């Protein structure tokens, strides 16, 4: 009779096994993989757990050839593969090059197990190759990686995922920067249903650099065992750039058209703005612009907080003019309606304020920041946007602001730099189906400045017409920061300058900034009282 307290099997977060972790009703978790130390002890109904830390001793053998797979000693030496009796050890390393895990092949039993911290390691073989180059091949298993490297004449880098087809996309996402540092990524997965499906999922993550190799044999090692090295190389060169499914004839769209508009959108946090724009949509580039010091960053952070509370999606944030800590604290402030970034407010805030604000913003594990030390090169910024979307599953990305990026470019031509980055950002938004919220500065008007409440317009966008041309929505913020009336000094008019979706433009709403709460709130009508 089975244990009535046993609930299910799960993958192991440490060794990477697919279903070797047993989970019990009392909170106990234990991995039964040989050599794995993963164990969590439950404490009754509260399900509180405590990790038992143990030191894993990693086994090593001697470097030699693997004749039953036609793998040479030289190939094994490159990948630091060793043999001891009937066991073959495939080492895995962390980012620092430290040996932290093994995949162990039991030759006689035709089986595998893992030892060490597989989940914390990089791809198999990654340690042996530098980042960057023309080609890299990604395989489904260790033997196939060795076979591929050998058949390609030890000329190109070859790596493999760690736990097979089932977790391939997850492995790739964790090592996204390394893989995409190469110009072409050849995906060489098994010629079966699981391999085909995994190859497509991986290719979607690595697009547009991904190419899928057509396989005429079961796997790469099968080519080698059948002495078909030349055929393998020919098939490798025939790898085709991955093109996703989804081409639809217009004549087949009657049913979907009659279902009504189903494109995903969330409403803007302010009713007046929502009435003109009809919400925030995927595949849109939304630009927010205003004069200096008129609340662009505050507006953007209100948007981020709104997205956090209106969706279950992740958000990537690139605030180029402030430290990550300041950005995080500003978002926490919105939850408790207290400007925590001010020293006196910070000092008077309670532990409950900090705990609640953190758990409901930064602690959700849905917000990711770009710590912008080092290069602000255009390709670096675009690459980080792509990383947010592909590797971290961010559906919304914030870039505040584009002007600081172009000011860092060596060629010094602001217009040309803006054209380049806007074109690349537009492409990424459409390709990845994300929403990009972009902050841009304005040129000073010939008459009264924007700091005195001058109206915004497309012609005033600083540096290049491409900002207005390539944006789907352009929102201008107008406020007279020098007004004699204090209430008016803190009231912003929100103007829709461009609206590709509905065509509706003009003043949308008025927002009042409260110094007490640190929040922007919409004024319903002219006579509404201020806080």
- The structural domains of the chain, with segments of one domain joined by +, span 6-51, 67-241, 265-523
Q: Which fold has domain 265-523?
A: Rossmann fold (3.40.50)
Sequence-distant (≥ 6) Cβ neighbours of residue 522 within 8 angstroms: 270, 271, 272, 509, 510, 511, 512
| For range 140-156, the mean pLDDT | 96
* Contact in structure between 51 and 14 (CB atoms under 8 Å): no
- pLDDT for the residue 461: 76
DSSP bridge partners of 17: none
Pairing type for strands 285-290 and 473-478 reads: parallel
Backbone angles phi, psi at 67, to 5 degrees: -65, -35
C-alpha torsion sign, points 232, 237, 238, 240 = positive
Distance from C-alpha of 517 to C-alpha of 530, rounded to nearest angstrom? 12
The burial class, CB within 10 Å (0-12 / 13-18 / 19+), for 351 is exposed
Per-residue pLDDT reduced to its tens digit, 25-41: 777 787 777 666 677 76
pLDDT above 80 (res 116): yes
Distance from C-alpha of 429 to C-alpha of 412, rounded to nearest angstrom? 26
| For range 208-224, the mean pLDDT | 95
pLDDT above 70 (res 46): no
Quote the strand ranges of 65-205, DSSP E.
82-84, 87-93, 99-106, 111-116, 133-139, 158-160, 182-188
- pLDDT for the residue 22: 82
Banded model confidence at residue 183, pLDDT cuts 50, 70, 90: very high
**Mean pLDDT score of the chain:** 85
- pLDDT for the residue 358: 95
Q: Which CATH architecture does the domain made up of 67-241 adopt?
A: 3-Layer(aba) Sandwich (3.40)
- pLDDT for the residue 214: 95
Q: Which residue has better confidence, 483 or 134? A: 134
Q: Which residue has better confidence, 166 or 81? A: 81
pLDDT above 50 (res 134): yes
Per-residue pLDDT reduced to its tens digit, 419-473: 888 899 999 999 999 999 998 887 765 565 656 667 777 877 766 678 888 999 9
Per-residue pLDDT reduced to its tens digit, 396-417: 999 987 777 766 555 567 778 8
Distance from C-alpha of 518 to C-alpha of 180, rounded to nearest angstrom? 41
Distance from C-alpha of 453 to C-alpha of 473, rounded to nearest angstrom? 21
Name which of 389, 349, 350, 357 is nearest 370 in CA terms: 389
* Lowest-pLDDT choice from 67-71, 91-95, 246-250: 246-250
Question: pTM of the predicted model, to two decimals?
Answer: 0.69
Per-residue pLDDT reduced to its tens digit, 432-444: 999 999 988 877 6
Pairing type for strands 49-51 and 39-42 reads: antiparallel
Distance from C-alpha of 361 to C-alpha of 347, rounded to nearest angstrom? 20
Q: Span 6-51: which CATH code?
A: 2.20.25
Distance from C-alpha of 487 to C-alpha of 23, rounded to nearest angstrom? 59
**Is 412 strand, coil or helix?**
coil
Name which of 227, 517, 470, 494 is nearest 353 in CA terms: 517
């Amino acid at each position: 009779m089975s244990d009535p307290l046993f609930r299910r099997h799960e993958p192991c977060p440490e060794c990477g096994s697919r279903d070797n972790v047993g989970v019990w009703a009392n909170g106990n978790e234990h991995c039964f993989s040989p050599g794995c130390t993963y164990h969590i002890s439950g404490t009754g109904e509260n399900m509180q757990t405590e990790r038992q830390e143990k030191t894993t001793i990693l086994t090593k053998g001697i470097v030699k050839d693997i004749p039953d797979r036609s793998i040479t000693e030289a190939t094994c030496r490159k990948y630091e593969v060793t043999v001891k009796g009937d066991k073959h050890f495939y080492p895995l390393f962390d980012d620092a090059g430290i040996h932290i895990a093994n995949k162990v092949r039991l030759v006689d039993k035709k089986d595998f197990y893992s030892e060490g911290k597989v989940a914390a390691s990089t791809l198999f073989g990654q340690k042996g190759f530098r980042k960057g180059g023309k080609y890299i091949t990604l395989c489904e298993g260790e033997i196939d990686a060795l076979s591929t490297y050998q058949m390609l004449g030890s000329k190109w880098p070859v790596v493999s995922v760690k736990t097979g087809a089932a977790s391939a996309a997850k492995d790739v996402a964790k090592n996204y920067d390394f893989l995409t540092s190469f110009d072409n990524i050849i995906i060489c997965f098994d010629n079966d249903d699981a391999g085909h499906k995994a190859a497509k999922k991986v290719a979607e993550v690595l697009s547009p650099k991904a190419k899928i190799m057509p396989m005429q044999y079961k796997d790469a090692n099968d080519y080698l065992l059948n002495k078909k090295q030349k055929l393998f190389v020919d098939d490798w060169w025939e790898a085709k750039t991955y093109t996703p499914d989804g081409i639809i004839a217009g004549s087949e769209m009657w049913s979907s058209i009659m279902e009504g508009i189903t494109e995903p959108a969330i409403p803007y946090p302010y009713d007046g703005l929502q009435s003109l724009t009809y919400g925030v949509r995927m595949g849109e580039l939304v630009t927010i612009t205003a004069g200096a010091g008129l609340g662009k960053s505050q507006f953007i952070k209100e948007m981020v907080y709104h997205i956090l509370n209106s969706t279950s999606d992740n958000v990537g944030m690139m605030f180029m003019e402030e430290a990550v800590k300041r950005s995080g604290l500003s978002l926490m402030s919105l939850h408790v309606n207290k400007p925590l970034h001010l020293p006196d407010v910070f000092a008077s805030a309670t532990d409950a304020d900090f705990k609640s604000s953190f758990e409901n913003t930064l602690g959700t594990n849905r917000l990711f920041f770009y710590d912008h030390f080092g290069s602000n090169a255009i390709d670096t910024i675009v690459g980080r946007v792509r990383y947010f979307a592909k590797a971290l599953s961010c559906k919304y990305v914030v870039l505040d602001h584009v002007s600081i990026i172009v000011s860092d470019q060596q060629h010094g031509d602001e217009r040309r730099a803006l054209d380049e980055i806007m074109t690349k950002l537009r492409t990424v938004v459409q390709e990845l189906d994300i929403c990009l919220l972009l902050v841009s500065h304005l040129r000073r008007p010939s008459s009264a400045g924007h700091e005195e409440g001058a109206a915004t317009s497309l012609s005033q966008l600083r540096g290049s017409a491409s900002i207005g041309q390539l944006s789907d929505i352009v929102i201008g913020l107008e406020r007279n920061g020098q007004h004699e009336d204090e209430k008016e000094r803190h009231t912003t008019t929100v103007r829709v300058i461009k609206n590709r979706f509905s065509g509706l433009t003009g003043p949308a709403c008025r927002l009042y900034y409260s110094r007490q709460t640190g929040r922007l709130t919409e004024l319903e009508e002219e006579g509404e009282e201020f806080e």
